[in-house]
A and B are shown apart, each in its own frame.
Chain A
Amino acid sequence: MFVQAVVSGLLIGSVYSLVSMGLSLVFGVLDIINFAHGALMSVAMYAAFVLVRSYGIDPYVAMLVTIPLLFIIGVVIQATIINPVMDAPLHNQLLLTLGLALFIQNLLLVLFSGTPRSIELPYASGALALGPLAIDFPLRIFGAVVTLPKAIAFIVSLLLAGGLFLLMQRTPLGTAIRAAAQDPEGAELVGIDVRRIYLITFGIGAASVGAAGSLILPFFFVSPTAGETFNIIAFVVVVLGGMGSIQGALAGGFLIGLTQELTQLFVPGSSKLIGVFALFILVLLLRPEGLFGSRT
């Protein structure tokens, strides 16, 4: 039981990390708390759902569409409605992204109705051949069950997280983004087009849920508010990990995954989010700069 809780926590934690990285990046660079992050995840889930159901495309191949699609949607959102409020007071920014979330959720409701839907992965159980190696799914690790979709979500999330980390640390674009986050005026002076950086950053933030939405589709019901759960968790993760910190989001995601599964194990009958929120409040009060953030 304990091993299962830990394994489940790590598996779902990787997806939380991926979702939270996008949110954290947007917060760190744009200083905007994006309440529409979860709604964008719902968009990604429906996009993948349509590709799978109507065109028979494999859900993991669908990511090749959902990631760029969400990137473009993110850029458009930043250009049209986030840009005008970049210097507005906090309550206006919050309400704007809330309005956006409401708009997106209800648009999905109009297009797809509220009925929860799901897809079947035809190769979810049985042996998976990786070259000469064949692995039987569901996999058993010390008695803990790991299903194939969750294993794929785990691995791909970590790969994408690593990719995002490298992008931020090792590429000129990443350097420009970090410069714009630290000192927009200074970045502007050395020739960085900060507005363009903002567009790209919001795009990357949206693309991260574009990936996450596809990854969880094989084991999660899709509905207009499906992304909402991830929204709330991503906030907790971002505060935990330190707003704007990619590494913090990675560690925070795993911590929250473990916390929720262990809460369920040790406090049966309660919502697994209770432990998550208790931890959240504790961290807010004791280290508002986050477990991994630095005091500035």
Chain B
Amino acid sequence: MNPVRIGSQDVRALVIVVILLALLPFFLSRFALTVATVALMFALMGTGWNMMGGYAGQFSFGHAAYFGIGAYTVAVLLTKYLLSPWVGLLIGGALAAVFGLVTGYLSFRYKLRGAYFALATFAFAEMLRLLASGSSFINKAIGIHIPLVGGDDWARFQFENTQRNSYFVILLLLALALAATVWMVRSRAGHYMVAIRDDEDAAAALGVDPLKYKLLAVALSGFFTALAGGFYVQYFLFIDPDLAFGALVSVQILLRPIVGGVGTIWGPLVGAGVLAVLGEGTRTLVRQPPAFLSFLQGVNGLDGMLFGAFLIVVIIFAPEGVVGVVRRIRTRMER
């Protein structure tokens, strides 16, 4: 299994990276800023997924459930009760954590593991999607539009003039999630989680309560993934059942940590960076191809095809993710 230790070196490096990321928007074009903001949002979701899927080894294929709960909570509280999204984020995070505890408790009680657990999480997310599509309280399949207030509003974190501020909000949330991961992994609970991941029966035999620590990981994971959902709504000003709970959302969430490196603190960050560059690269290639590839112009689905092919290549040739490959090369060079 991957080494999971987060050393002081890593923490120092993380602090430096966050500071550098905070300076980044002063050098970016408006378009690049949008790409970077979305990348940080994916890094946040991935960091949330990683707590449960990476460190505690509980492979979730339904993280859209938490993302969607966060998104809808912020949207409903704002549009119906005029509550600030900051409050909405906290409540959405708490609701997602509770949802994770309840569904996690049910699943773990019945000893769902591996593929069965993954399919169960998938089914829970699909249920929420179908329920949201049928509920008139949240506008059924039509979704919810967030009214634009105009100007810059920190209370709502909507920024018409200084888009940079949106970037700072998501960076702040990401930094919180990273800090929580460091705390979690370095705590006694984190050690137990990893022990359970590597061999649940052995850990249980040594007196660790698997249920308790798996649930802790699920709750934390749900909370931080929901924050990304809340941010999504305020940034894109729209949510509907597919965007919130769709299977594609779950895939997007687990993609970054897997591409970057499962169960490593850097995995979700690196994965988000790599996929942002790759995604924009292929999109540009399809939209404005160089002369010799001009036949690609405007062909629908080409970027998706390249993306799928990229996934296949990564899994076959770099199954432990980018961070794993870097580690492997580094240890080889040290010898």
Contact = CB atoms under 8 A, between A and B. Distances in A.
Interface string A73-95: 00000000100110011111011
B257 to A, nearest CB: 9
A254 interface: no
Contacts of B130: 270-271, 273-274, 277
Contacts of B61: 94
Given A96-B315, A284-B120, A271 B305 contact: no
A90 B255 contact: no
B115 interface: yes
Interface in A260-293: 269-271, 273-274, 277-278, 280-281, 284-286, 288
Interface residues of B, number: 46
A110 B299 CA distance: 6
Interface stretch (A98-106, A169-177, A187-195, A198-206): A98-106
Given A107-B301, A271-B133, A96 B112 contact: no
B176 interface: no
Contacts of A61: none
A277 B319 CA distance: 32
Contact of B311 (A96, A109, A114, A232): A96
B114 interface: yes
B258 A288 contact: no
A39 to B, nearest CB: 10
A102 B59 CA distance: 20
B299 A103 contact: no
A49 interface: no
Given A96-B311, A99-B311, A277-B130, A110 B316 contact: no
Contacts of A286: 110
B130 to A, nearest CB: 5
Contact of B319 (A85, A271, A285): A85
Nearest to B302: A110
B147 interface: no
Contact of B301 (A33, A81, A100, A110): A110
Given A85-B315, A99-B309, A274 B131 contact: yes
A144 B246 CA distance: 35
Contact of A277 (B59, B127, B262): B127
Nearest to B126: A277
B161 interface: no
A103 to B, nearest CB: 3
A94 B262 CA distance: 14
Nearest to B125: A277
A154 B310 CA distance: 39
B123 A280 contact: yes
Contact of B134 (A92, A94, A114, A271): A271
SS class, residues of chain A in contact with chain B: helix
Given A92-B315, A280-B123, A103 B309 contact: yes
A95 B115 contact: no
B118 to A, nearest CB: 7
Nearest to A111: B301
Nearest to B309: A103
B119 interface: yes
A2 B53 CA distance: 44
Contact of B119 (A105, A235, A269, A270): A235
Contacts of B109: 285
Given A103-B312, A281-B124, A288 B255 contact: no
Contact of B305 (A88, A107, A277): A107
Interface string B300-314: 111111011111100
A24 B307 CA distance: 28
A271 B127 CA distance: 10
B12 to A, nearest CB: 29
A85 B107 contact: no
B59 A91 contact: yes
B148 interface: no
B221 to A, nearest CB: 15
A100 B309 CA distance: 7
A91 B254 contact: yes
Contacts of A89: 319
B111 interface: yes
Given A90-B59, A270-B134, A288-B112, A95 B305 contact: no
B312 A106 contact: no
20 contacts: A85-B315, A88-B319, A89-B319, A90-B118, A92-B258, A92-B319, A95-B311, A95-B315, A98-B251, A99-B308, A100-B312, A101-B308, A103-B308, A106-B308, A110-B305, A224-B301, A274-B134, A277-B126, A277-B130, A284-B116
Interface of A: 33, 81, 84-85, 88-92, 94-96, 98-110, 113-114, 224, 232, 235-236, 239, 243, 269-271, 273-274, 277-278, 280-281, 284-286, 288
Interface of B: 53, 59, 61, 106-107, 109-112, 114-116, 118-120, 122-124, 126-127, 130-131, 133-134, 247, 251, 254-255, 258, 262, 299-305, 307-312, 315-316, 319
